[in-house]
Structure 1
């Protein structure tokens, strides 16, 4: 249990750091971060704090879907946005295309590693993924349809609000699935420690396994 909790904490912190690198690369973001950035532009509140607030609001949508949060869900709301905010405060914006590309690719790879860590800890889905799986369970829609409808909506809304959509958005969409596919078995606590934790499942805040 202790090792799983540490793995969860490291994974969530690393996820926020990696997402912050993608923000500072300035080449485009995943849909939810585009939305958070757009809201941040209009409110003046830091993108990391907005990410936490959005996570909390999304969690409220679990109530009619009859979803139950886990420890990973709660810590996801508290930690991911916080580490995004710390990263964009400390790490300067990338200057020049080579530096932007390098920072973006580093961020995407680290997001995959972080996803493998916190999913592999098996402490429950993040709030946004729980929304999609809850829609699937409640309405019977395919996961891909739930994901497409939700993420396309927040992406378009974020874009209109001023969030960054670009080549980084495409790279994230195309690359994160295969990268997580590689990373997840490396950090799966059930496989590594030969135990099956009772009553807990892992999921991914962003690139949900199909």
Structure 2
């Protein structure tokens, strides 16, 4: 299994990317159905969805598109995986929301959220390991770090706080799950990266050609 996941063949990398993005979208759907809070960006998309009446997944895609526009002045170059992330995560999230019921009891809510967080962390390691480009939000962070010279934690925290505040004001659900995501997603993703033997520093993403 692990040997298969580490194969360099492009077809395997594309399959890995697709499966990873599908799991990522389903992980988001599970956390949303837990209804105890979600990641800052998902709170933003949820609030936008409730305000506009547009589906959560479509709001996620629209937010990704706007974030990619912000890459232009930051001189960030997207990879194939970047565009796939922007287009597919929202679609898979909507698909998951269509089939996953809303958790009712607190135990079920916590379990549903925890399952989503674990799945999302695994999915992150899976699609990053494909080496086909980072997601739109990660590229925004790295571009701002390079432009401002500020530390990663400061830029990431500023972005996350900004979107969660806007999302909350728009009606997104902020709660214990939001805090659990903030403190848990990093360590869990690191564990998954090690389990799948993904070395991010050694990757050479497949970039889109310059215009």
Same fold (TM over 0.5): yes
Q: Provide runs of 4+ in structure 1 moved above 2 Å.
A: 185-191, 196-201
- Shift of residue 189 of structure 1? 5.5
Kindly indicate whether residue 84 of structure 2 is the aligned counterpart of residue 75 of structure 1.
yes
User: Which runs of no fewer than 5 residues in structure 1 stay unpaired?
Assistant: 202-210
1:29 to 28, 34, 38: 38
Question: RMSD of the TM alignment (CA)?
Answer: 1.6
Task: Report the Cα distance in structure 2 between the residues aligned to 1:4 and 1:188, rounded to whole angstroms.
Answer: 14
Kindly indicate whether residue 172 of structure 2 is the aligned counterpart of residue 163 of structure 1.
yes
Task: Report the Cα distance in structure 2 between the residues aligned to 1:198 and 1:80, rounded to whole angstroms.
Answer: 22
Residue in 2 aligned with 1:20? 29
Task: Report the Cα distance in structure 1 between the residues aligned to 2:205 and 2:178, rounded to whole angstroms.
Answer: 34
Kindly indicate whether residue 161 of structure 2 is the aligned counterpart of residue 174 of structure 1.
no
Task: Report the Cα distance in structure 2 between the residues aligned to 1:119 and 1:21, rounded to whole angstroms.
Answer: 21
Alignment check: 8 A CA contact 1:117 1:188 kept = no
Residue in 2 aligned with 1:113? 122
SS at match of 1:163: coil
Task: Report the Cα distance in structure 2 between the residues aligned to 1:79 and 1:116, rounded to whole angstroms.
Answer: 17
Change (3 A) 1:65 1:96: same
Aligned residues: 197
Q: TM-score, normalised by structure 2?
A: 0.89
Q: TM-score, normalised by structure 1?
A: 0.90
1:51 to 60, 73, 76: 60
String of CA shifts for 1:123-144, please: whole Å, max 9, x gaps: 1110011001001112211111
Task: Report the Cα distance in structure 1 between the residues aligned to 2:59 and 2:103, rounded to whole angstroms.
Answer: 22
Alignment check: 8 A CA contact 1:14 1:110 kept = yes
Residue in 1 aligned with 2:138? 129
SS at match of 2:115: helix
